[in-house]
Each structure stands twice: as structure tokens, then as C-alpha cells.
Amino acid sequence: MFTWLKNKNRLQRLRSKYCRLMKNSYLIALKDKDKSDQINTEACALLIEIKRLETVENLNTSSRKRSA
């Protein structure tokens, strides 16, 4: 019901920001290629951070499974 009030973890926030930047980059590309490239570069940096966090999260969950 009140999904906007739920606390998002860092990974979810980064994913939503990445999606927003990619959509914005696509829309701006029709008018300004340089600005679109700048936004796309920022989104790619976020994607790298997302992948790093997912890897760390997967390693943490797999180590918990082994210790249990």
C-alpha cells in the first residue's frame, strides 16, 4: 500500500537510479548526444557498483549457508 515509505537497501536504490539514468540518457540522446553520453557514463559507473555489491552479497549468503 505505502511502497514509497518502505526503506530500500542500497542495492535497490542504486538499481532504481540506474534505470532512471538510462531512461533519461535515451530520451536526451534524441536532442543532445554529448549530454546523453555523460549520463550514460554515470549510469555505467553505477552498474559497476551494482555488480560489485551483488557479488559481495552473494559471497556473504554463500558463506552463511556453509556455516549453517
Q: What is the largest CA-CA distance in the chain?
A: 55
pTM of the model: 0.79
Tell me if 57 sits within 8 A of 11, measured CB to CB: yes
| The pLDDT of residue 64 is above 80 | no
Task: Give the pLDDT confidence score for residue 51 in this predicted structure.
Answer: 96
Domain segments of the chain as ranges:
10-63
pLDDT digits (tens, 9 = 90+) for 3-43: 666 677 899 999 999 999 999 999 999 999 999 999 999 99
CA distance 54 to 60: 10
| Res. 61 pLDDT band, cuts 50 70 90 | confident
Q: What is the pLDDT of residue 1?
A: 53
